[in-house]
Amino acid sequence: MNELHRSSRPIAIWLLVGVGMIMIQVLLGGITRLTGSGLSITEWKPILGTIPPLNEQDWQTAFDQYKQIGQFKQLNFSFTLQDFKSIYFWEWLHRTWARLLAVAFIIPFTIFVFQKRIKKDMIYPMIILFLLGALQGIVGWIMVKSGLNQEDVYVDHIRLALHFIAALVLLCYAFWFALGLLFQRSRFVFDTGLRNLTSGLAILLMVQLVYGAFMAGLKAATAAPTWPTINGMWIPDGLGNLPGLKDLANNPITVQFIHRTIAYLFLLLVVLWSICARSIRTSTLLNKTRALPFIFTLIQVLLGILTVVFSPNRTALLWFGVTHQFMAMLLMLLLVWMMFVVRPRTQPVQKQS
């Protein structure tokens, strides 16, 4: 390893720690959603919001603020103060972890600047990383604010999907940035066909994850908790019940049908990818990890089935759903890894320095 890569290694490790923290943040967001906790804190205090209510009077004030919104009036009107505390905890933890993420970015970044580890070619990626993190916070508050009214009992599922995808973009970007600091171009494999297939899989997975967010936001799993058919039918009743494109994003049956269909298509394409990858023997990095996409996809499909089938059980839905989400992130990062290792043939191979 040359001097440049030795000096960049701490930055790469810092970025990978950030990747882990982002994954935890997304999982906390999933728990917050599945427990119906997202609207429990009705105001945004960037600094003071870190401190939860410390006495009964503060708790009662927070509870009274929650009582003013539609979720309490229409759904949780029987809640006691103790019930409120249980949902408040998850939203508070989700927001607090986001603040810790900001601290984990700013403090090491400042140290690296003083140590002069930040090279010129890292400045723009660092700016993009910061902007993506800030965007994620803004989208998160817009999402929460969409549910703080008298009509809605949950946040808007489309804004939920945007919040989730923004987190995934930040996650993938930080991971790619770290990989670029750890591995040199001489370790890449150049195959345009496999790279295009990998890119296609990543795009398809991103669409699938959007529909996964729609599934969570609409509670679509409970609309058809059966497998392999949807409520006993391969082509279920209820498809197209809403007008035009609205049906694709707002009809729970349609959303679940599309989510399942993409899952089957994705599995078939991963099998094709695995066959193509086995023909390449020039890259140790690829050879050591090429079996993982198929394995991860099988696990993900199984978790998806279990999440749907056990969705009527709130506890099972929570833990299967969160595990399903965690596996989705691992699968996305794995595809980012494959896109990093497999490059188009048009890119020249650079000799290792």
Tell me the percentage of the chain whose pLDDT exceeds 70: 95
Residues 80 and 15: beta-carbon distance below 8 Å: no
Tell me the average pLDDT across 80-94: 91
Q: Phi, psi (5° rounding) for residue 235?
A: -110, 100
Cα distances (Å, whole numbers) of residue 223 to 39, 252, 256, 294 = 23, 7, 8, 29
Residue 235: exposed, middle, or buried by beta-carbon count in 10 A (0-12, 13-18, 19+)? exposed
Residues 179 and 196: beta-carbon distance below 8 Å: no
Q: Phi, psi (5° rounding) for residue 212?
A: -65, -40
Alpha helices, H only, the chain: 3-34, 56-66, 70-74, 81-114, 120-145, 157-182, 192-218, 246-250, 252-278, 284-289, 292-309, 314-341
* Opening angle at CA 166, ends 162 and 172, nearest 5: 145
Q: Over 90: is that where the pLDDT of 302 sits? A: yes
Cα distances (Å, whole numbers) of residue 24 to 4, 116, 171, 237, 278 = 31, 30, 11, 37, 33
Cα 148 to Cα 338: distance, rounded to the nearest angstrom: 41
Which of these ranges, 48-52, 164-168, 287-291, 329-333, has the smallest mean pLDDT? 48-52
Cα 293 to Cα 331: distance, rounded to the nearest angstrom: 7
At 9 the pLDDT is 87
Cα 285 to Cα 8: distance, rounded to the nearest angstrom: 20
Residues 237 and 251: beta-carbon distance below 8 Å: no
At 349 the pLDDT is 45
pLDDT tens for each residue of 37-68: 888 888 877 666 678 888 999 999 999 998 98
Helices 292-309 + 314-341 axis angle, to 10: 160
* Domain layout of the chain by residue ranges: 1-182, 187-353
At 48 the pLDDT is 63
At 1 the pLDDT is 43
Residues 303 and 323: beta-carbon distance below 8 Å: yes
Tell me the average pLDDT across 13-36: 92
The tally of CA atoms less than 13 A away on the side-chain side of residue 120 is: 0
Cα 155 to Cα 38: distance, rounded to the nearest angstrom: 8
Q: Over 70: is that where the pLDDT of 353 sits? A: no
Considering only CA atoms, which of 179, 177, 222 is closest in space to residue 338?
Answer: 179
Q: Work out the number of other CB atoms within 10 angstroms of the CB of residue 286.
A: 20
Q: Phi, psi (5° rounding) for residue 176?
A: -60, -40
- In three-state secondary structure terms, 228 is coil
List the structure tokens of 139.
């989208």
The tally of CA atoms less than 13 A away on the side-chain side of residue 166 is: 22
229: DSSP letter: S
